[in-house]
């Protein structure tokens, strides 16, 4: 909310933490009073109630304004949420703060890992509102062409071309504004409020607007998941997000997004709840597999391509979970305490890239951020996402992650599923939101803005077209033929699933020519339940909450039903017939003696092991979402050792949600090869077999680090708490997550981030780093570029973090790669920036990659570009992006520790 000018707002921003610290006790008591006052009476949220007016509710007067409160988290080193309750500031008090506070001022509270901390809530007080502007971008083809979701730039142009969705958003908002102008307050509230859990066919539903027999607006269907249409039949189970990231292949990631978008659309879904882009901060995080790994650049590029693909398919994408939902343990009662720089440089980067890709919606998370619930965090929702990132769509709550009616003031636009708790019959919005407007607490202009944002996204995706499919499945009652039409949306998408599954497999070890398999492998023994079919088929467990066969996705709301699942044993047996090989197997993980006997005298033994995780509402074998440890499930380590003791050509295949500790057997002389296959989806067995037999030369690279011991990661799931108090999770590692931590503290990993072997070899040479002329840049852009080159931070403004001059290609690294091995193969060259030590950055930071395919003996020229954004650090004092002082180095190689070529960037 912005009731003071931007200039005055930010002049005070650095100094308010001092005032907050002085008044923290009063703020805490007022927060408690406001929280109590915000609890509504029971309000039914049937479709009729959702659009009806209500008598005004008596409110206790609060003492803080959202506009002033939103400045409290911008000072250096301060981790205070903007929507914390801040006492009213008199002119004399503010003047005193201006004269005595310093940028290094800190809050009165210091988080303790596993401890508790105060909760800050928005106070109930009359608020003013002025909308953020619709972008007035001027397209600059070819680097900044005007596009709409149906015609994004070709994937071959990534990242050289920055799409300009500004004109498309402007048109969509114009249509939405005209539509909203015809609606009553109750109808606008209806658009923002879900109908309640199980109130429609989809996991989330916005009721249609009706006037008599006429449909004024058809409503919305919102449906999981990030890898397929959840709770639907005849849909595809795609490879998980972690596999998409492991491919490091923009073309395949884009195509995966497109096919998922098409399947959602043809099931009649308006909003697909994905992609998921939370970071793999802790290796055991339960939902890491839904996202894109442990590096913000890789996650950002994967999010960018996924959003472009999904929305090209016609469905609204939803970037989630904003922000800090990196573990499942007490996710609804824990605070992710993240400093301003880390929030900008790590956790918000994938969301920024999604916004640049034109994402229609964003989902805020369950957890608190710096003491304030994410879905009412004014600093994050309003100032970062809507102001700084220039987001033009809408922000929805995760399911029951809303905590007050005043969340409308702090930036939330849609509540899902609409009721306060599932099937409670009450809502923070609905009739309560109407009442808050009628009694003058929340401006109707804000509700108008909420409805306009939601409708603008609907228009942006062309969902106003009469040909857009209506919902034709029932997520809750799939066997009800009256509401589930059993539409087959799979098309030929299995071909992409198989290809991406193979492209995401990472070859970790390969000795004595163990792989690829072939004529030499006359007799093959396959061990492990992970190689076979589930005892009762692929959908034996609800939401995949368990596994007794091939593991091809984790568990929770991020899943989909398998129409079919190809287990490895079937695919390997079929492929082995081409060489007349014999194949035998045992699915009993714990019958060690049987495995030992069957492994003897076989030319090859394949051991399949796995590890699972998921969302916290399902507990599997004591794993409450997050993994209890980083070891293989089902006795996998013992099985590998038993087989390896009896077979000198033991090959291990890993289906896992993330990294495992491999130390019990990785150096065993009889373990000749290891393949990390991840979660490949419905064609899992075929994808793995393609890699094992060399039909696909391994090209996957690790999207995380595999450590030698869990403590090497430096972070772990924060335990403690009882679900009633707020559990503190301090992100004290700052920028140093995953490989950055290993590099900063000189820890040797087992396999580093970006690592992956091939059946061939590659040679790098002839690095040239040069500046790209900013052709076509306007005088204003040229001035901004010149200021950046002199070390000045970007100015505080609307859309300041997504300006074209900041993101357009500015420098390029050109080099050669030669295939020096015997077979055709793909390579993933990676570019890392080495910032000057004074910058406070990790030693090496990924800022570019591409994929190339090269025949034996062939040499190809590769170019990777970087932008000024890629070369910038977040200045917490100036609140902008700036070039650090000193020399910026460039490293080109095949992993985070494979430094084959080195150069410098001359600004």
- What helix, strand, coil percent values describe the chain, rounded to 5? 30, 20, 55
398 a catalytic residue:
yes
**Picking from 231-235, 676-680, 778-782, which range would have the lowest pLDDT averaged per residue?**
778-782
Task: Mark which of 461, 483, 502 sits at the end of a domain.
Answer: 461
Q: What digits encode the pLDDT tens for the residues 565-581?
A: 999 999 999 999 999 99
Does some domain include residue 166?
no
Sheet holding 506-510, edge to edge: 506-510, 671-676, 650-656, 604-611, 523-527, 582-586
Q: Output the DSSP codes for 536-557.
A: TBTT-SGGG---SS---S-BST
What per-residue confidence (pLDDT) applies to 777? 84
Q: What digits encode the pLDDT tens for the residues 191-229?
A: 999 999 999 999 999 999 999 999 999 999 999 999 999
* Pair (302, 443) in one structural domain: yes
Does some domain include residue 814?
yes
pLDDT of 413 above 50 = yes
pLDDT of 21 above 60 = no
Q: What digits encode the pLDDT tens for the residues 651-678?
A: 999 999 999 999 999 999 999 999 999 9
Does some domain include residue 695?
yes
Residue 440 or residue 56, greater confidence: 440
pLDDT of 66 above 90 = no
Task: Check if the beta carbon of residue 685 is closer than 8 Å to that of residue 571.
Answer: yes
What per-residue confidence (pLDDT) applies to 775? 81
Does some domain include residue 323?
yes
Measure CA of the first residue to CA of the last residue in the chain; give whole Å: 38
Does some domain include residue 432?
yes
The pLDDT-based confidence of 273 (bands split at 50, 70, 90) is: very high
Token output for 150: 């149906």
Task: Mark which of 714, 745, 776 sits at the end of a domain.
Answer: 745
What per-residue confidence (pLDDT) applies to 109? 58
Residue 48 or residue 404, greater confidence: 404
Does some domain include residue 314?
yes
Beta bridge partners of 859: 818
* Pair (316, 444) in one structural domain: yes
* Pair (712, 855) in one structural domain: no
Count: domains in the chain: 3
pLDDT of 42 above 80 = no
* Euclidean distance between CA atoms 334 and 723, whole angstroms: 8
* Pair (194, 268) in one structural domain: yes
Does some domain include residue 195?
yes
The pLDDT-based confidence of 26 (bands split at 50, 70, 90) is: very low
From the list 49, 337, 398, 870, the catalytic residue is 398
What per-residue confidence (pLDDT) applies to 110? 66
Q: What is the dihedral of CA 852, 677, 250, 748, to 10 degrees?
A: -70
Q: What digits encode the pLDDT tens for the residues 505-516?
A: 999 999 999 999
Instruction: Compute CA distances 831 → 286, 605, 750, 843, 848, whole Å.
Output: 29, 37, 21, 13, 5
Range of the domain at 446: 178-461
* Euclidean distance between CA atoms 220 and 202, whole angstroms: 9
* Euclidean distance between CA atoms 713 and 693, whole angstroms: 34
Say which CATH number the domain at 331 has: 3.20.20.300
Q: What digits encode the pLDDT tens for the residues 833-892?
A: 999 999 999 999 999 999 999 999 999 999 999 999 999 999 999 999 999 999 999 999
Chain centroid offset of residue 44 CA:
34
Q: What digits encode the pLDDT tens for the residues 751-766?
A: 999 999 999 999 999 9
What is residue 676's three-state secondary structure?
strand
Q: What digits encode the pLDDT tens for the residues 328-362?
A: 999 999 999 999 999 999 999 999 999 999 999 99
Say which CATH number the domain at 734 has: 3.40.50.1700
* Pair (696, 775) in one structural domain: no
* Pair (740, 770) in one structural domain: no
Token output for 548: 């007794």
* Pair (733, 782) in one structural domain: no
pLDDT of 55 above 60 = no
Q: What digits encode the pLDDT tens for the residues 806-838?
A: 999 999 999 999 999 999 999 999 999 999 999
Say which CATH number the domain at 884 has: 2.60.40.10
* Pair (704, 768) in one structural domain: no
* Pair (540, 409) in one structural domain: no
**Could you tell me which of 703, 714, 716 has the C-alpha nearest to residue 752?**
703
* Euclidean distance between CA atoms 699 and 758, whole angstroms: 6
Portion of the chain with pLDDT greater than 70, in percent = 88
* Pair (734, 766) in one structural domain: no
Does some domain include residue 6?
no
Token output for 853: 């395919």
What per-residue confidence (pLDDT) applies to 137? 78
* Pair (851, 776) in one structural domain: yes
* Pair (598, 515) in one structural domain: yes
* Euclidean distance between CA atoms 680 and 684, whole angstroms: 5
Task: Mark which of 713, 745, 777 sits at the end of a domain.
Answer: 745
Mean pLDDT of 695-710: 98
* Euclidean distance between CA atoms 527 and 532, whole angstroms: 9
Mean pLDDT of 448-476: 98
Planar angle of CA 54, 51, 57, nearest 5 degrees: 20
Give the H/E segment covering residue 187. helix 185-192
* Euclidean distance between CA atoms 704 and 846, whole angstroms: 12
**Picking from 320-324, 406-410, 771-775, which range would have the lowest pLDDT averaged per residue?**
771-775
The per-residue pLDDT of the chain, averaged, comes to 89
What per-residue confidence (pLDDT) applies to 91? 29
Token output for 290: 């839904």
Instruction: Compute CA distances 855 → 743, 759, 860, whole Å.
Output: 34, 12, 10
Task: Check if the beta carbon of residue 559 is closer than 8 Å to that of residue 553.
Answer: yes
The pLDDT-based confidence of 322 (bands split at 50, 70, 90) is: very high
HEC-encoded secondary structure of 263-299: HHHHCCCCEECCCECCCCCCCCCCCHHHCCCCCHHHH
Token output for 688: 């793995």
């Amino acid at each position: 909310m912005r009731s003071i000018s931007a200039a005055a707002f930010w002049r005070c921003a650095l100094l308010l933490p001092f005032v907050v610290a002085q008044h923290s006790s009063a703020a805490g008591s007022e927060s408690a009073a406001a929280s109590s006052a915000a609890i509504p009476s029971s309000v039914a949220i049937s479709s009729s109630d959702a659009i009806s007016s209500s008598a005004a509710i008596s409110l206790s007067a609060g003492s803080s304004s959202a506009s002033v409160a939103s400045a409290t988290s911008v000072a250096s080193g301060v981790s205070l949420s903007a929507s914390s309750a801040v006492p009213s500031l008199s002119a004399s008090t503010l003047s005193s703060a201006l004269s005595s506070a310093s940028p290094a001022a800190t809050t009165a509270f210091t988080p303790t890992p596993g401890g508790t901390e105060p909760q800050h809530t928005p106070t109930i007080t009359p608020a003013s509102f002025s909308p953020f502007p619709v972008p007035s971008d001027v397209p600059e083809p070819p680097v900044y062409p005007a596009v709409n979701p149906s015609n994004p730039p070709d994937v071959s142009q990534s990242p050289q071309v920055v799409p300009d969705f500004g004109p498309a958003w402007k048109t969509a908002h114009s249509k939405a504004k005209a539509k909203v102008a015809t609606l009553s307050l109750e109808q606008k509230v209806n658009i923002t409020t879900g109908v309640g859990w199980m109130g429609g066919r989809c996991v989330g539903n916005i009721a249609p607007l009706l006037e008599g027999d006429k449909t004024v607006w058809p409503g919305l269907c919102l449906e999981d998941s990030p890898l397929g249409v959840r709770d639907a039949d005849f849909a595809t189970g795609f490879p998980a997000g972690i596999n998409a990231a492991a491919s490091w292949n923009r073309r395949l990631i884009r195509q995966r997004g497109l096919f998922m978008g098409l399947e959602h659309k043809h099931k009649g879904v308006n909003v697909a709840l994905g992609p998921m882009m939370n970071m793999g901060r802790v290796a055991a995080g339960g939902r890491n597999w839904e996202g894109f790994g442990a590096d913000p650049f890789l996650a950002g590029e994967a999010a960018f391509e996924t959003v472009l693909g999904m929305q090209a398919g016609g469905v609204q994408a939803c970037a989630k979970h904003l922000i800090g939902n990196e573990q499942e343990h007490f996710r609804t009662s824990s605070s992710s305490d993240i400093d301003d720089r880390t929030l900008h440089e790590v956790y918000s980067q994938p969301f920024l890239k999604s916004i640049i890709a034109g994402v229609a919606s964003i989902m805020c998370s369950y957890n608190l951020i710096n003491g304030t619930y994410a879905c009412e965090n004014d600093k994050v929702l309003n100032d970062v996402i809507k102001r700084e990132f220039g987001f033009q769509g809408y922000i929805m709550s995760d399911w029951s992650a809303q905590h007050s009616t005043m969340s409308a003031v702090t930036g939330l636009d849609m509540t899902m599923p609409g009721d306060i708790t599932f099937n409670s019959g009450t809502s923070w919005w609905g009739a309560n939101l109407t009442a808050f407007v009628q009694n003058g607490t929340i401006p109707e202009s804000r509700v108008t803005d909420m409805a306009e944002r939601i409708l603008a996204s609907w228009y942006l995706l062309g969902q106003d077209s009469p040909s857009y499919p209506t919902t034709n499945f029932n997520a809750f009652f799939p066997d009800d033929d009256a509401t589930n039409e059993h539409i087959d949306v799979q098309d030929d998408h299995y071909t992409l699933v198989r290809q991406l599954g193979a492209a995401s497999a990472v070859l970790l070890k390969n000795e004595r020519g163990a792989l690829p398999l072939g004529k030499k492998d006359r007799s093959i023994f396959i061990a492990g339940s992970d190689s076979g079919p589930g005892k009762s088929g692929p959908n034996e467990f609800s939401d995949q909450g368990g596994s007794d066969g091939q593991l091809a996705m984790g568990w929770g709301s991020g899943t989909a039903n398998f129409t079919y699942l190809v287990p490895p044993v079937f695919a390997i047996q079929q492929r082995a017939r081409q060489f007349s090989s014999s194949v035998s197997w045992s699915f009993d993980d714990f019958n060690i003696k049987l495995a030992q006997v069957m492994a003897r005298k076989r030319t090859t033994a394949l051991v399949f092991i796995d590890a699972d995780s998921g969302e916290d509402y399902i507990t599997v074998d004591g794993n409450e979402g997050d993994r209890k440890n980083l070891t293989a499930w089902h006795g996998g380590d013992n099985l590998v050792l038993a087989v390896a003791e009896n077979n000198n050509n033991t090959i291990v295949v890993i289906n896992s949600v993330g990294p495992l500790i491999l130390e019990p057997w990785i150096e065993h002389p009889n373990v000749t090869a290891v393949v990390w296959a991840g979660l490949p989806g419905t064609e899992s067995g075929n994808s793995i077999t393609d890699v094992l037999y060399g039909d696909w030369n391994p090209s996957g690279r690790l999207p995380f680090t595999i450590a030698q011991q869990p403590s090497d990661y430096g972070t772990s799931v924060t335990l403690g708490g009882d679900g009633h108090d707020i559990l503190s999770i301090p992100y004290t590692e700052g920028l140093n997550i995953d490989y950055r931590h290993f590099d900063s503290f000189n820890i040797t990993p087992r396999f580093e981030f970006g690592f992956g072997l091939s059946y061939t070899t590659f040679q790098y040479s002839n690095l040239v780093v040069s500046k790209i002329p900013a052709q076509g840049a306007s005088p204003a852009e040229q001035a901004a570029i010149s200021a950046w080159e002199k070390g000045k931070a970007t100015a505080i403004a609307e859309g300041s973090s997504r300006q074209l001059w900041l993101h357009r290609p500015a420098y390029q690294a050109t080099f050669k790669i030669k295939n020096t091995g015997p077979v055709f193969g793909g390579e993933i060259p990676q570019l890392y920036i080495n910032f000057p030590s004074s910058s406070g950055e990790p030693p090496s930071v990924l800022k570019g990659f591409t994929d190339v395919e090269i025949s034996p003996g062939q040499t190809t020229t590769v170019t990777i570009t970087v932008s000024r954004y890629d070369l910038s650090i977040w200045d917490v004092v100036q609140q902008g992006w700036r070039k650090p002082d000193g020399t910026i180095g460039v490293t080109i190689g095949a992993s985070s520790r494979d430094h084959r070529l080195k150069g410098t960037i001359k600004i």
